[in-house]
């Protein structure tokens, strides 16, 4: 058969081979040409990410002045605080001049004598750091601390503080830690330039100040604050279940490129802000990881897990362990430690609090001050007479029909106008619209967007809709994704443009519900587009939506909820680089439209966000966390509006509504004009109850409840407390108090009479 089909003439065969080669080359050149025609980042005003900046200081060794009976000598002081160091142990202490309270890096020697743990655990209690390293190709991690006999510590005075350099002479491994006083407390800095690995020993992780401010047992009232969901408290007087081994989770969630996710991994709320804190009586601190936060985890250890102390700290991994495939012929993997370390400066800002500020509310205020000081929040919201309602409308999606696929419309642009008209008639006076399911491909994770789906009105229909909404003063944003893509619905090349995992393979994930991805080795799934390529391609979308008069873009995948590394050998990126590029995209989008929105709202995305959809208001329900508190809402309310789960998708409708009111969210619904069955088997099939006609009366009723809080929409939250079991009070700047009674399933608003500040 092959002989009959394949020409016998040698010249004909050569012509066919030549033609096939030219065709392949043409396809490749077309693809290359398309991406080469994309604008450069420089044309979009986006520069390369900044590098490390912390210097390592050289100079005469520090000579300790008079050493006190506790072994500490003063290093520096300012108007509010004094810094001390023990030259024998390198432990530090900070004294609050106003209250006289002394914060210690480690429990005092008198308390260590009473500790029951032995060996390395006891040594760790006396060390200002816990370090792990590996030697050569060995994957066994060796733990060390400042009591290690192989270690030598030297001190150099620096402005407002001191630099301690630790040198493992036999290992040719050294690093520096710097302590600098500030007006709010002090900073811990770990300059990347100070880390030297001249031998076979390689730093795996560094846990600085693991016992700073640690509290013994139930001796004091207070709690550990962890960034779980909106905020979580681990109280000293509670005892975690025996099987709980502490709290240790990555800031911004696990890096998908590290291949740690799995099919059966339980869903949890990823950490959206790099803050932890500790309260003890009239004293507290809020620790903010300001550098190195994209490669950090928050670690909390209640009393009884590794010692009798409640402790809280940040852990900085410098390398990752992963499974490296032995060969392409087998699935067998061997444990491997990556050769190249995460090269970035580390900094933790400890803001020391006293008196009325020594609780989670004070910690949130300290974090807000940090955000404002570092230009990470937008300007204050303007007052409004009516609360805004975020209305997300789903145009439709592609679904299987008759052996193929067909776009199923759920809300045309004309039908969207009818929904708006009826809501206005029902008294919903302030609307913000996000339109999703508008892409021609009918898919959510796609870059095949344009032209707009004709089944819902196409380009002419969307222009008319946007124009009509603008006449009513209603902004219309279009939902979009720039992170995960489906190979069959993307113009990007998975091999050329896809992010590489730590094992150098293209990172792939099988899409699951609610933005969850299970990484299944060997299974073709969604891939993540390199952020530079994604941003370059995004300009076409921004320009097209700008021509139809859109108010902005609402990113639901990528900026605000996704961070990853790229291990591409030719263009390696850290998570810090990804955050920088995504933040730059938000800035560019906002500059082009005037408005941009995100989903979830990791703190790096807040600066440009006009709205955060599905802000983290729920906890992960960890058994170790005793109470959920609105730390993150307190930090951003009045600067960034945010929603909870859409009203029509709540698991517990009345309970979740009250939680949204307690936490200062604005109302939100995700709707269709057609019955929700129109979305079955589409990418929006999880929206199981969406028909506007079914929800219209409930929306009007709920809007009236939220609208009673319109006067505090632009205000800061100044206090939050539990008045009694099941009753919580949120207080705003003008004195307005919102009391939510979960026992009676009601809320009350007591209007304040104070001036806005």
CATH code, 419: 3.20.20.80
Do the domain assignments include residue 358? no
Instruction: List % helix, strand, coil for the chain (3-state, nearest 5).
Output: 25, 30, 45
Determine the pLDDT at residue 165: 97
Using CA atoms, how far apart are residues 530 and 497, in angstroms rounded to an integer? Answer: 6
- Is residue 93's pLDDT more than 50? yes
Using CA atoms, how far apart are residues 574 and 67, in angstroms rounded to an integer? Answer: 44
Determine the pLDDT at residue 488: 80
Tokens of 756: 């806005």
Determine the pLDDT at residue 166: 97
Question: Do 561 and 678 have their domain in common?
Answer: yes
Q: Phi and psi (nearest 5°) for 121? A: -65, -40
Cβ(579)–Cβ(52) below 8 Å: no
Question: Do 680 and 735 have their domain in common?
Answer: no
Do the domain assignments include residue 657? yes
Tokens of 364: 């949130």
Cβ(435)–Cβ(391) below 8 Å: no
Instruction: Provide the domain limits for residue 750.
Output: 715-757
Q: What is the CA radius of gyration of the chain?
A: 28
Question: Do 756 and 705 have their domain in common?
Answer: no
Determine the pLDDT at residue 266: 57
Q: Would you place residue 655 in the very low, low, confident or very high pLDDT band (cuts 50, 70, 90)? A: very high
Determine the pLDDT at residue 20: 60
Strand order in the sheet with 717-724: 717-724, 727-732, 737-741, 746-750
- Residue with tokens 């800002």, as numbered in its chain: 349
Sign of the alpha-carbon dihedral angle for 417, 418, 421, 427: negative
Using CA atoms, how far apart are residues 670 and 668, in angstroms rounded to an integer? Answer: 7
Question: Do 536 and 429 have their domain in common?
Answer: yes
Using CA atoms, how far apart are residues 467 and 462, in angstroms rounded to an integer? Answer: 8
Using CA atoms, how far apart are residues 286 and 301, in angstroms rounded to an integer? Answer: 17
Using CA atoms, how far apart are residues 499 and 481, in angstroms rounded to an integer? Answer: 16
Question: Do 566 and 643 have their domain in common?
Answer: yes
- Is residue 411's pLDDT more than 70? yes
Cα distances from 99 to residues 215, 259, 282, 355, 383, in angstroms, run: 18, 48, 9, 9, 39
Which comes out higher in pLDDT, residue 93 or 44? 93
What secondary structure letter does DSSP report for 643? Answer: B
Using CA atoms, how far apart are residues 24 and 166, in angstroms rounded to an integer? Answer: 58
Tell which of 714, 732, 748 closes a domain.
Answer: 714
278, with CB counted inside 10 A (0-12, 13-18, 19+), is: buried
Number of domains in the chain: 2
Using CA atoms, how far apart are residues 278 and 312, in angstroms rounded to an integer? Answer: 7
- Residue with tokens 């096939």, as numbered in its chain: 20
Using CA atoms, how far apart are residues 342 and 348, in angstroms rounded to an integer? Answer: 17
Do the domain assignments include residue 476? yes
CB atoms within 10 A of CB 323: 15
Do the domain assignments include residue 235? no
Q: What's the gap between Cα 144 and its chain centre? A: 31
Q: Would you place residue 494 in the very low, low, confident or very high pLDDT band (cuts 50, 70, 90)? A: confident
| Rounded mean pLDDT, 512-537 | 69
| Rounded mean pLDDT, 488-507 | 85
- Is residue 513's pLDDT more than 50? no
Q: Phi and psi (nearest 5°) for 140? A: -70, 125
pLDDT in tens, 534-588: 999 999 999 999 999 999 999 999 999 999 999 988 888 999 999 999 999 999 9
The percentage of residues in the chain with a pLDDT greater than 70, rounded to a whole number, is 91
Do the domain assignments include residue 522? no
Q: Would you place residue 3 in the very low, low, confident or very high pLDDT band (cuts 50, 70, 90)? A: very low
Tokens of 70: 């506790």
Question: Do 698 and 570 have their domain in common?
Answer: yes
Question: Do 455 and 603 have their domain in common?
Answer: yes
Do the domain assignments include residue 655? yes
- Residue with tokens 């609105």, as numbered in its chain: 630
The torsion region of residue 665 among left (phi > 0), alpha (psi -120 to 50) and beta comes to: beta
Do the domain assignments include residue 439? yes
- Residue with tokens 């709920």, as numbered in its chain: 702
Contacts 24+ apart (CB under 8 A), 722-731: 728/662, 730/630, 730/662, 730/663, 730/664
Question: Do 601 and 741 have their domain in common?
Answer: no
CB atoms within 10 A of CB 59: 9
Sign of the alpha-carbon dihedral angle for 421, 425, 426, 427: positive
Q: Single out the residue of 568, 538, 601 nearest to residue 257, CA to CA.
A: 568
Query: Helices 575-593 and 531-547, interaxial angle, to 10°?
Result: 10
CB atoms within 10 A of CB 143: 15
Which contiguous run of DSSP H or E holds residue 463? Answer: helix 458-471
Q: Single out the residue of 208, 178, 204 nearest to residue 193, CA to CA.
A: 178
Using CA atoms, how far apart are residues 623 and 239, in angstroms rounded to an integer? Answer: 10
Question: Do 561 and 651 have their domain in common?
Answer: yes
Enter the pTM of the model: 0.92
Do the domain assignments include residue 620? yes
| Rounded mean pLDDT, 420-442 | 93
Question: Do 609 and 671 have their domain in common?
Answer: yes
Using CA atoms, how far apart are residues 353 and 367, in angstroms rounded to an integer? Answer: 12
Question: Do 726 and 594 have their domain in common?
Answer: no
Q: Single out the residue of 659, 739, 668, 738 nearest to residue 703, CA to CA.
A: 668
Question: Do 619 and 745 have their domain in common?
Answer: no
Tell which of 714, 730, 746 closes a domain.
Answer: 714
pLDDT in tens, 107-117: 998 888 888 88
Tokens of 742: 């979960």
Query: Bridge partners of 93?
Result: 84, 104
Q: What is the mean pLDDT of the chain?
A: 89
Determine the pLDDT at residue 714: 97
Determine the pLDDT at residue 514: 44
């Amino acid at each position: 058969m092959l002989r009959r089909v394949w020409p016998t003439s040698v010249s004909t065969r050569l012509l066919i081979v030549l033609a096939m080669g030219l065709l392949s080359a043409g396809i490749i050149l077309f693809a290359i040409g398309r991406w080469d025609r994309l604008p450069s980042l420089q044309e979009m005003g986006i520069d390369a990410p900044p590098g490390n900046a912390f210097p390592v200081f050289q100079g005469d060794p520090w000579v300790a002045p008079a050493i006190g009976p506790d072994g500490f000598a003063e290093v520096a002081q300012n108007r509010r605080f004094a810094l001390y160091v023990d030259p024998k142990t390198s432990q530090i202490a900070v004294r609050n001049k106003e209250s006289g309270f002394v914060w210690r890096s480690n429990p005092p020697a008198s308390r260590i004598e009473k500790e029951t743990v032995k060996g390395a655990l006891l040594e760790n209690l006396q060390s200002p750091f816990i370090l792990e390293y590996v030697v050569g190709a060995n994957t066994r991690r060796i733990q060390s601390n400042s009591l290690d006999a192989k270690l030598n510590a030297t001190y150099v005075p620096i402005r407002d503080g001191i630099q301690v350099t630790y040198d493992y002479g036999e290992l040719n491994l050294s690093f520096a830690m710097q302590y600098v006083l500030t007006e709010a407390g002090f900073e811990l800095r770990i300059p990347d330039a100070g880390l030297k690995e001249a031998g076979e020993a390689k730093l795996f992780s560094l846990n600085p100040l693991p016992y700073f401010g640690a509290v013994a047992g139930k001796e004091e009232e207070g709690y550990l604050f962890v960034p779980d969901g909106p905020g979580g408290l681990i109280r000293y007087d509670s005892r975690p279940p025996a099987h709980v081994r502490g709290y240790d989770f990555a800031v911004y969630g696990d890096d998908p490129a590290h291949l740690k996710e799995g099919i059966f991994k339980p869903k949890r709320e990823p950490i959206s802000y790099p803050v932890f804190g500790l309260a003890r009586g009239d004293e507290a601190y809020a620790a903010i990881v300001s550098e190195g936060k994209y490669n950090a985890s928050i670690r909390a250890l209640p009393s009884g897990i590794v010692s009798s102390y409640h402790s809280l700290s940040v852990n900085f991994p410098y390398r990752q362990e992963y499974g490296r495939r032995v060969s392409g012929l087998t699935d067998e993997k061997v444990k491997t430690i990556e050769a190249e370390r995460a090269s970035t400066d580390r900094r933790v800002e400890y803001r020391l609090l006293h008196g009325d500020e020594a609780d989670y509310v004070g910690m949130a205020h300290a974090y807000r001050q940090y955000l404002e000081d570092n230009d990470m929040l937008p300007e204050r919201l303007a007052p409004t007479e009516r609360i805004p309602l975020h209305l997300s409308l789903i145009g439709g999606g592609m679904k299987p029909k008759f052996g193929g696929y067909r776009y199923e419309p759920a809300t045309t642009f004309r039908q969207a106008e009818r929904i708006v008209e009826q809501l206005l008639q029902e008294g919903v006076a302030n609307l913000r619209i996000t339109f999703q399911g508008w892409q021609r491909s009918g898919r959510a994770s796609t870059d095949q967007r344009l032209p707009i789906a004709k089944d819902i009105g196409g380009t002419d229909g969307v222009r008319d809709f946007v124009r009509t909404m603008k006449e009513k003063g209603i902004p219309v944003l279009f939902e979009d994704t720039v992170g995960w893509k489906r190979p069959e619905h993307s113009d990007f090349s998975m091999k050329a443009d896809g992010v590489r995992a730590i094992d150098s393979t293209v990172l792939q994930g099988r899409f699951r519900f609610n933005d969850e991805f299970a990484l299944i080795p060997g299974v073709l799934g969604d891939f993540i587009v390199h952020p530079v390529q994604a941003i370059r391609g995004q300009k076409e979308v921004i320009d097209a939506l700008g021509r139809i008069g859109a108010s902005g873009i609402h990113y639901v995948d990528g900026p605000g909820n996704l961070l990853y590394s790229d291990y591409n050998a030719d263009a390696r990126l850290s998570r810090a680089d990804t955050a920088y590029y995504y933040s730059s995209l938000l800035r560019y989008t906002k500059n082009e439209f005037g408005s941009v929105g995100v989903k979830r709202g990791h703190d790096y995305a807040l600066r440009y966000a006009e709205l955060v959809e599905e802000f983290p208001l729920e906890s992960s329900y960890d058994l170790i966390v005793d109470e959920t508190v609105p730390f993150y809402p307190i930090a951003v309310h009045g600067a960034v509006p945010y929603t909870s789960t859409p009203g029509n998708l709540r698991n517990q409708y009345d309970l979740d509504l009250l939680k949204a009111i307690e936490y200062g969210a604005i109302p939100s619904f995700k709707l269709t004009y057609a019955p929700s069955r129109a979305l079955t088997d589409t990418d929006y099939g999880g929206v199981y109850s969406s028909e506007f006609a079914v929800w219209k009366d409930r929306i009007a009723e709920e809007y009236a409840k939220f609208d009673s809080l319109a006067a505090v929409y632009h205000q800061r939250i100044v206090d939050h407390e539990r008045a009694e079991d099941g009753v919580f009070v949120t207080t705003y700047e003008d004195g307005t108090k919102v009391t939510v009674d979960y026992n009676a399933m009601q809320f009350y608003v007591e209007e304040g009479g104070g001036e806005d500040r």
